[in-house]
Chains A and B, each alone.
Chain A
Amino acid sequence: MSVALRVRRGAYVDSVTLMRVAEAVRRLPGVAAGALLMASEANRAALREAALWTAEADDAGPGDLVIAVAADADETAARALRHAEELLAARRESGGAPAAVRPRSLVRAARDFPDANLAVISVPGVWAVNEASQALAAGLHAFIFSDGVSLEDEIALKRRARERGLLVMGPECGTSLLNGVGLGFANRVRRGPIGLVGASGTGLQEVTTLLHRLGSGVSHAIGTGGRDLHDGVDGITTLQALELLGRDAATRAIVLVSKPASDRVAAHVLAAASGIGKPAVACLLGWRGPTPPGIHTTATLEEAAAAAVRAAGGPVAPLPAPSLPRRRGAGPVVGLFTGGTLCEEARALVGDAGSRFVDFGAAEFTQGRPHPMIDPVLRAAAVAATGGDGAAGVLLLDFVLGYCAHPDPVGAAAPAIREARALAARAGRELTVVAHVVGTEEDVPSLAAQTQALHALDVAVYPSNRLAALAARELAGGPGGR
């Protein structure tokens, strides 16, 4: 065994650094023991006891650093000493302070950002409930895009929120537009006198964009989540939203939009809307009940938009005339939609018999993958397949523009449309394609650009979902096709 030792006079090094270097030295191959100590009386004794002392350090004092190594050979020991000195001399760069970390919880983020007034939640169901609970505890409204939240959890969250004067928009809330800022899927629309409440995201998008195109504008659009008008939830968020819009000075008329709802809850909500004292228009798809005084009910979203513009006292600008397709076939309508409410509305207008409607936003298509407005792959495949479907005469499509949507929905569908046409042509058929684009000229890409792209594909473009559906029915040869 070879012991080597070096004394560094007057070289104070703190004990933690010394321990760290000693640890590194002891890990070197061939090194049996290593110590770096200031040569105090106690440390000298410790080194002697460990047989790490040689005479050359006898005159070292408390202010001197002793580096001692025991190794299997002289050369190994010398190398270990050099290594220790290198480590002591090394200036380890930290690379600067680490960047501020992203907060790991909603609570933490809320503390860092006291300006926040809402949480946007898109994590999966059971975790969304936890995040929404945190949001409410932190005094934040919640916009919950997530699906997979149980009805029971939704009810509990909304009741708690109501107690605290907070809104839970969702779960499965696609759209809100608050003071001109879109949450989730939303379009760039003019600010104006009309406030909306909707248990339907695409319903809100269709009406807000139509209000814009009809020359009016939107104060706020509050999404409630698709089940808000179900029994059990009792329209909690809808009622809160109606109250907010009732008090909002910028809102002169109110539009209520929903997919089919519980009759009891719908009646309750309509009664509440009629009590606000502002003109109100309701488009509750499938609603057949009585209408309370002061409420104008409509069967379609486009009619709701037009009625609201009139109710707010504005002129109604005309919608552009559609471009009819050059090539026309006939036969049953196949409606392939990314927007659930648009799909429902079209189905109601065209009729079910012989026709086929698919909502690609339904849960069966969104398990583990993004919404079709973001990821158009599944619908594109279905579009292409229509060409080989002998029972398809008219293909009816929606394209939804705006925040969070695919950056070029028409472009993404174009190859599939061409393929469907080609397949149909090979079978000696002609496929008519009819579309509606939900958007405004201010959206990116713009309504005009997407419309032009559709024209280039020989697709007939109609200015509302209603008009597109009616045209499809007409082209098919009457209700339900021939």
Chain B
Amino acid sequence: MGGDTLLDRAPAAINVGADLFADSLASQGAGVRRVDWQPADAPRELARVWTARVETANRRAAAALLGAHAVLVDVRPAIDVIPGMTPDTILHAGPPVEWTRMSGPLRGAVIGALLLEARATSAAEAERLAASGAVGFAPCHHHASVGPMAGVTTASMPVFVVENRAGGNRAYSTLNEGLGKVLRYGAFAPEVLDRLRWFRERLGPALGEAIRRAGGIDVRAIIAQALQMGDECHNRNRAASALLIKALAPHVAALDLAASERERVLTFAAGNEHFFLNVGMAACKLAADAAHGVPGSTLVTTMARNGTDFGIRVSGLGDRWFTAPADTPVGLYFTGHGPDDANPDIGDSAITETAGLGGFAMAAAPAIVQFVGGTPADALATTRLMYEITMAESESYRVPALDFRGTPTGIDVRLVAQTGVLPQINTGIAHRQPGVGQIGAGLVKPPRACFEAALSALVRDAGHG
């Protein structure tokens, strides 16, 4: 890209520093915009990554992120579809973490999954097996998958299959279990496992068949509509869930199943306000994967937590994770619980923020800001602030209250370092003990250290590029 020739026209300037200079330009009738400048922490490092190579790489990565067109095409057992899945694999949320460092909810979910897979017959046996090294733990993110909260995914679990009509890649996520005692919060009581067995035997196959009959369901279109109906598609999925069920219902009704089974499928789906969450997460993962692996790009393609650590990955830095201890969300608690009960931040659901939804689309879902005592004006301000750290604006996902401006999409490590503004993540809060479940919901930010480490790696990378 060549610059303009400087003398072709009257100057129009961006002013960084003393207002005196901007005032003077404005008094001469020249166009001028002022930057609300704060000194960045690492100006020397930063100066090295504003390069033409990075700009080109970021344009490519952002185009892949924005261009992803997610379509829900199937529900299949994980072992059949997730790349690299084996009977011994246990996928979990967040960056890699060994058994001994796993938090309560994640341990509980691992125990539950081993019981579900009949690899153990008691919790104690499951714990011994988990500690023995005989099962292979891996992040969902390493297997084109994402899971909310503990994110535990094993061979027999049915998973949504989402396909990128623009890029050809696929992404996967388990079925959402609803609220209360659920595996993703580390519960493994008999009713939790009974529900998962029903998922495996009835719900998964029924949904898969219905989706195939529907010829696939356009997830991007559902998210776009839901944002205009008050969802941000992370903490609030009411509209998206309703739209998904609306699309599925005629095809579920037509299934060759007993009426009571069809009723149970639709009743379960209708009774779960987060029925859509996992589908939306898979759609976001699809977009992030499409944008991952562009050499030089400073685009964040993963933000994920395992209940112990928060980790990010960056498009141009391959499969390296940049991790730091996870913070505890700030928010509202259900009756009988408080901050002392809370587990540190957990789950892959920050993939929604990574793809420009959730906290980044807060302005579309003003009800969510009440989790921290905010107002609709705060919701607008939050989304506006996220434009400061993103490299693009969504073409598909638009916010009515911002004159249908596209949501801020594509976190740039450089802009986080430049502005000091951290991504805003909406999240549920898990009890620190396995099996208790969700105890609240609120807001959380990634640790700054993740971005500082990623910036240093990008600088080293620029030195060699």
- With contact pairs A141-B3, A164-B2, A182-B28 given, residues A122 and B368 touching in the complex (Cβ less than 8 Å): no
Residues B40 and A130 in contact, CB atoms below 8 Å apart: yes
Q: Which residue of B lies closest to A220 (CB)?
A: B7
Query: What total count of A-B pairs have CB within 8 Å?
Result: 229
Q: Which residue of A lies closest to B334 (CB)?
A: A19
B132 at the interface (CB under 8 A from A): no
Chain B residues positioned under 8 Å from A377 (CB to CB): none
B4 at the interface (CB under 8 A from A): yes
A417 CA to B316 CA, complexed, in Å: 63
Q: Which of A23, A98, A117, A119 contacts B332 (CB 8 A)?
A: A23
Q: What are the interface flags for A279-317 relative to B under an 8 Å C-beta threshold, 1 for contact and 0 otherwise?
A: 000000000000000000000000000000000000000
| Chain B nearest CB, measured from A211 CB (Å) | 18
Residues A120 and B17 in contact, CB atoms below 8 Å apart: yes
B257 at the interface (CB under 8 A from A): no
A164 CA to B95 CA, complexed, in Å: 40
Residues B20 and A244 in contact, CB atoms below 8 Å apart: no
Q: Which stretch in A101-109, A356-364, A387-395 binds the other chain?
A: A101-109
Q: Which stretch in B30-38, B164-172, B215-223, B342-350 binds the other chain?
A: B30-38
Q: What are the interface flags for A130-152 relative to B under an 8 Å C-beta threshold, 1 for contact and 0 otherwise?
A: 11111111011101011000000
Chain A residues positioned under 8 Å from B381 (CB to CB): 98, 101
B11 at the interface (CB under 8 A from A): yes
B371 at the interface (CB under 8 A from A): yes
Interface size of A by CB at 8 A reads 81
Chain B residues positioned under 8 Å from A1 (CB to CB): none
- With contact pairs A98-B381, A137-B51 given, residues A108 and B388 touching in the complex (Cβ less than 8 Å): yes
Q: Which of B14, B414, B415 contacts A119 (CB 8 A)?
A: B14
Q: Which of B21, B31, B55, B380 contacts A97 (CB 8 A)?
A: B380
Q: Which of A37, A137, A167 contacts B52 (CB 8 A)?
A: A137
Residues A92 and B375 in contact, CB atoms below 8 Å apart: yes
- With contact pairs A50-B336, A178-B6 given, residues A131 and B16 touching in the complex (Cβ less than 8 Å): yes
- With contact pairs A22-B335, A108-B415, A116-B33 given, residues A181 and B368 touching in the complex (Cβ less than 8 Å): no
Q: What are the interface flags for A72-111 relative to B under an 8 Å C-beta threshold, 1 for contact and 0 otherwise?
A: 0000000000000000000010111110111111111110
Q: What are the interface flags for B348-383 relative to A under an 8 Å C-beta threshold, 1 for contact and 0 otherwise?
A: 000000000000000000011011010111001100
Chain B residues positioned under 8 Å from A103 (CB to CB): 33, 35-36, 388
Residues A116 and B384 in contact, CB atoms below 8 Å apart: no
Q: Which residue of A lies closest to B48 (CB)?
A: A133
A58 at the interface (CB under 8 A from B): no
- With contact pairs A17-B370, A130-B43, A136-B50 given, residues A403 and B335 touching in the complex (Cβ less than 8 Å): no
| Chain B nearest CB, measured from A223 CB (Å) | 12
Q: Which of B12, B336, B385, B414 contacts A113 (CB 8 A)?
A: B12
> Which residues of A from 161 to 204 have beta carbons under 8 Å from B?
164-167, 178-184
Q: Which of A94, A104, A117, A178 contacts B421 (CB 8 A)?
A: A104
Q: Which residue of A lies closest to B273 (CB)?
A: A15
Q: Which residue of B lies closest to A42 (CB)?
A: B180
| Chain A nearest CB, measured from B371 CB (Å) | 6
Residues A120 and B25 in contact, CB atoms below 8 Å apart: yes
Chain B residues positioned under 8 Å from A96 (CB to CB): 377
- With contact pairs A103-B33, A117-B12 given, residues A139 and B3 touching in the complex (Cβ less than 8 Å): yes
Chain B residues positioned under 8 Å from A137 (CB to CB): 50-52, 54-55
Chain A residues positioned under 8 Å from B137 (CB to CB): none
Chain A residues positioned under 8 Å from B51 (CB to CB): 133, 137, 160
A16 CA to B372 CA, complexed, in Å: 10
Residues A374 and B20 in contact, CB atoms below 8 Å apart: yes
A22 CA to B38 CA, complexed, in Å: 39
Residues A122 and B377 in contact, CB atoms below 8 Å apart: no
Chain A residues positioned under 8 Å from B30 (CB to CB): 181
A342 at the interface (CB under 8 A from B): no
- With contact pairs A113-B33, A403-B27, A404-B20 given, residues A178 and B367 touching in the complex (Cβ less than 8 Å): no
| Chain A nearest CB, measured from B66 CB (Å) | 14
Chain B residues positioned under 8 Å from A247 (CB to CB): 5
Residues A108 and B6 in contact, CB atoms below 8 Å apart: no
Q: Which of B46, B370, B384 contacts A101 (CB 8 A)?
A: B384
> Which residues of A from 204 to 222 have beta carbons under 8 Å from B?
220, 222
| Chain A nearest CB, measured from B359 CB (Å) | 15
- With contact pairs A96-B377, A113-B31 given, residues A179 and B9 touching in the complex (Cβ less than 8 Å): yes
Residues A106 and B373 in contact, CB atoms below 8 Å apart: no
A107 CA to B34 CA, complexed, in Å: 12
Q: Which of A16, A105, A182 contacts B35 (CB 8 A)?
A: A105
Q: Which of A101, A115, A123 contacts B16 (CB 8 A)?
A: A123
> Which residues of A from 6 to 65 have beta carbons under 8 Å from B?
14, 16-17, 19-20, 22-23, 33-35, 37, 46, 50
A127 at the interface (CB under 8 A from B): yes
| Chain A nearest CB, measured from B219 CB (Å) | 25
Residues A244 and B7 in contact, CB atoms below 8 Å apart: yes
B121 at the interface (CB under 8 A from A): no
B451 at the interface (CB under 8 A from A): no
Chain A residues positioned under 8 Å from B377 (CB to CB): 94-98
Chain B residues positioned under 8 Å from A127 (CB to CB): 39-40, 43
A118 at the interface (CB under 8 A from B): yes
A121 at the interface (CB under 8 A from B): yes
A33 CA to B333 CA, complexed, in Å: 13
| Chain B nearest CB, measured from A131 CB (Å) | 5
Q: Which residue of A lies closest to B420 (CB)?
A: A104
Residues A117 and B37 in contact, CB atoms below 8 Å apart: no
A454 at the interface (CB under 8 A from B): no
A164 CA to B5 CA, complexed, in Å: 11
B387 at the interface (CB under 8 A from A): yes
Chain B residues positioned under 8 Å from A17 (CB to CB): 367, 370
> Which residues of A from 231 to 255 have beta carbons under 8 Å from B?
244-245, 247-248
Q: Which of A16, A182, A248 contacts B370 (CB 8 A)?
A: A16
A129 at the interface (CB under 8 A from B): yes
Residues A118 and B335 in contact, CB atoms below 8 Å apart: no
Chain A residues positioned under 8 Å from B54 (CB to CB): 137
Q: Which residue of A lies closest to B20 (CB)?
A: A404
| Chain A nearest CB, measured from B418 CB (Å) | 5
| Chain B nearest CB, measured from A57 CB (Å) | 15
A33 CA to B334 CA, complexed, in Å: 11
Q: Which of B25, B52, B336, B418 contacts A105 (CB 8 A)?
A: B418
Q: Which of B16, B52, B333 contacts A106 (CB 8 A)?
A: B16
Q: Which residue of A lies closest to B372 (CB)?
A: A20
Chain B residues positioned under 8 Å from A23 (CB to CB): 332-333
B15 at the interface (CB under 8 A from A): yes
- With contact pairs A33-B335, A116-B13 given, residues A104 and B388 touching in the complex (Cβ less than 8 Å): yes
Q: Which of A46, A104, A107, A129 contacts B47 (CB 8 A)?
A: A129
Residues B16 and A122 in contact, CB atoms below 8 Å apart: yes
B residues adjacent to A (C-beta < 8 A) = 1-7, 9-18, 20-22, 24-25, 27-40, 43-44, 46-48, 50-52, 54-55, 332-336, 367-368, 370-371, 373, 375-377, 380-381, 384-385, 387-388, 401, 414-415, 418-419, 421, 440
Q: List 27 A-B contacts (CB under 8 A).
A: A20-B371, A20-B373, A23-B332, A33-B336, A50-B336, A97-B401, A101-B385, A102-B35, A103-B35, A104-B36, A104-B38, A105-B419, A108-B415, A116-B33, A117-B9, A118-B12, A119-B14, A123-B17, A123-B37, A126-B43, A131-B37, A135-B14, A164-B3, A179-B7, A181-B10, A184-B24, A404-B20
Additional pairs, 15, CB under 8 Å, beyond known A92-B375, A104-B419: A19-B334, A19-B370, A20-B370, A22-B335, A37-B335, A103-B35, A105-B35, A106-B16, A126-B44, A127-B39, A130-B40, A178-B7, A181-B28, A183-B11, A404-B21
Across chains A and B, which 6 residue pairs bring their CB atoms closest together, nearest first?
A122-B17, A102-B36, A94-B377, A137-B50, A166-B3, A133-B50
